[in-house]
Structure 1
Amino acid sequence: MNELVTAIPTGITAFTATNLDDLVILTLLFSQVNATFRHRHIVIGQYLGFSTLVVASLVGFLGGLVLPPHLVGLLGLVPITVGLNRLLNPESDSSSDADTETDLSHSSIFTNFLSPQTCSVAAVTIANGSDNVSIYMPLFANTNISSLLVIIAVFLSLVGVWCYVTYKLTCQPAISNILTRYGNNLVPFVLIGLGIFIILDSASLNPIALVASCLCLMGLVKLYAINGQAATSSGVDLRG
């Protein structure tokens, strides 16, 4: 009984220590909600990404396996790519809002799990979670099965609390006005900075390789945007 009682504050402490930075990221994400990027994408994506981190920690706990930190760190390329796309192609997010609003309003839960928006949020959560795995692994290894279940339940409850708190923050007029005015310009740099920090912190790439990777990603993102615009233009011409 004592172990179960101590499992609750242990879970709260471990979650808070490893997810404080997610408060900033979630607040920025909620400020970007529009016709194509909904609240449900953020909540489902956050739960999906965090659950993946817990499962990865459990795999190591149960089988003596652990994801190499440098492989987890390479996921930092995901937020860098998303940030570069928003920075180089800011019109891509807003141009499709009206076209997809009706379809998204009727999307199923299954579709939400597979949507690019949900997967992007999940990928950012996973990429930012290398410290989660490194802390949860020894924590899980030193608990029995009943305490482990309590800790996981605490974790999943706090994910909901984190989402609710950050959503409420964006509803505050002062914060909402700042995020609405500067959020679109700030988010790309936050995502790029997050990805760079993840990669450097995990020593996945040296600085030179990181710069080269970013330059390659910039080229690919811009090329993808140009091809997309060309396809759209040709489609308009054919209809005309």
Structure 2
Amino acid sequence: MLLPEVGQTIATSVSAFCASNLDDIVLLMLFFSPLGDQRRGVHVVAGQYLGFSLLVLASLVGYLGGQILPTPWIGLLGLLPISLGVSQLIDSLNSVADPADGDALEGPPVMPSSLPSWLGRWAVPAAEVGAIAAITVANGGDNVGLYLPLFARCSTPQLLLTLGVFFVMVGLWCGLAWRLVQVPRLADVLRQYGAQGVPFVLIGLGVLILMDSHTLQHRGLATLALACIGVMALSLLQQLSQTVSPTLLPLLSRSR
């Protein structure tokens, strides 16, 4: 690969990882928070790597498909991250429209009650690593939805570089979560404001996949892709109108 291509691949890989794993920062903080022994930190990192590896294996189906299907058809997979981003925007609008849900999201993160009670025990490291990996996989639907089209458009050198960047980022993510546990105010800022940009990153990556795969240059595929994007845009606009209307009605009544 040429140097500009290497730089673009690294930048795309870092963006894709950050967009699909921002919520994992909160989970990792929850895992690290009761840390009282260095062995527990090793268990958390091992579980995160194991769970992420399983997500990558599931996503490699996209790479195999990319060796069979024409590139413009593979570009249609860019609709997956776009749909994920639009879905997250709609969910955020729902939380604004329903104050009860918004209040429920405020405050410090709490360890999910569904976690096994033995998760915090240090005497069963294999079970602990397995539990953390299982939670990572269960929380990784966005990862597979984004990695499938990303891998599908990669050549073999690009795939190897992307995987290398991903696994380096897993280690950096664990280190960042460990540091955030020790700086509660910074953790609150990340939790409150960091997630707001994720939907736009996902949508941007999806558009990039469509453009790089030359899908929009194929008349039939472009019509299909634009139709799907139009349906998603209409859903977003509908939710936006439902969110804005209750806010504007009291103002309009007062002005009268």
TM norm structure 2: 0.52
Is residue 60–residue 148 contact of structure 2 (8 Å, CA) maintained in 1? no
The residue type equivalent to 2:203 in the other structure is I
Of residues 223, 227, 250 in structure 2, which corresponds to 1:212?
227
How high is the sequence identity, in percent, across the aligned residues? 20
Give the direction of change, closer, same or farther, for the CA distance of 1:155–1:203 in structure 2 (3 Å limit): closer
Could you report, residue by residue, the CA deviation over 1:14-59 in whole angstroms, capped at 9, with x for unpaired residues? 9887344222332344433346998889756753454356566578
Give the direction of change, closer, same or farther, for the CA distance of 1:222–1:103 in structure 2 (3 Å limit): farther
Distance in 2, matches of 1:179 and 1:78, equals 25
Residue of structure 2 in register with 1:203 after alignment: 214
Residue of structure 2 in register with 1:164 after alignment: 171
1:28-177 equivalent positions in 2, closer than 5 A: 28-33=19-24, 34=26, 46-48=52-54, 50-51=56-57, 66-90=68-92, 91=95, 101-105=112-116, 108=131, 112=135, 115=138, 117-132=139-154, 135-136=155-156, 159-169=166-176, 171=179
Is residue 73–residue 199 contact of structure 1 (8 Å, CA) maintained in 2? yes
Of residues 12, 33, 46 in structure 2, which corresponds to 1:21?
12
Q: CA RMSD in A?
A: 5.0
- Provide structure 2 residue ranges, at least 5 long, that are not aligned to the other structure: 32-43, 96-100, 118-129, 240-256
Bigger Cα displacement from structure 2, 195-204 vs 176-185: 176-185
The residue type equivalent to 1:194 in the other structure is L
Greater Rg by CA: 2
How many residue pairs match? The answer is 193
Could you report, residue by residue, the CA deviation over 1:109-142 in whole angstroms, capped at 9, with x for unpaired residues? 7855863x3232122112222342xx20xx69xx
Bigger Cα displacement from structure 2, 160-169 vs 117-126: 160-169
Is residue 89–residue 222 contact of structure 1 (8 Å, CA) maintained in 2? no
Distance in 2, matches of 1:46 and 1:130, equals 18
Is residue 86–residue 203 contact of structure 2 (8 Å, CA) maintained in 1? yes
Distance in 2, matches of 1:49 and 1:118, equals 7
- Provide structure 1 residue ranges, at least 5 long, that are not aligned to the other structure: 1-9, 141-150, 225-240
Distance in 1, matches of 2:28 and 2:234, equals 25
Distance in 2, matches of 1:35 and 1:182, equals 16
Is residue 80–residue 146 contact of structure 2 (8 Å, CA) maintained in 1? yes
The residue type equivalent to 2:230 in the other structure is L
Measured after TM superposition, the shift of residue 155 of structure 1 is 7.8
The residue type equivalent to 1:51 in the other structure is L
Is residue 82–residue 206 contact of structure 2 (8 Å, CA) maintained in 1? yes
State the secondary structure of the residue aligned to 2:215: coil
Distance in 2, matches of 1:18 and 1:175, equals 30
1:177-188 equivalent positions in 2, closer than 5 A: 179-180=190-191, 182-188=193-199
Could you report, residue by residue, the CA deviation over 1:36-93 in whole angstroms, capped at 9, with x for unpaired residues? 9988897567534543565665788xxxx53322332211111111111111221389
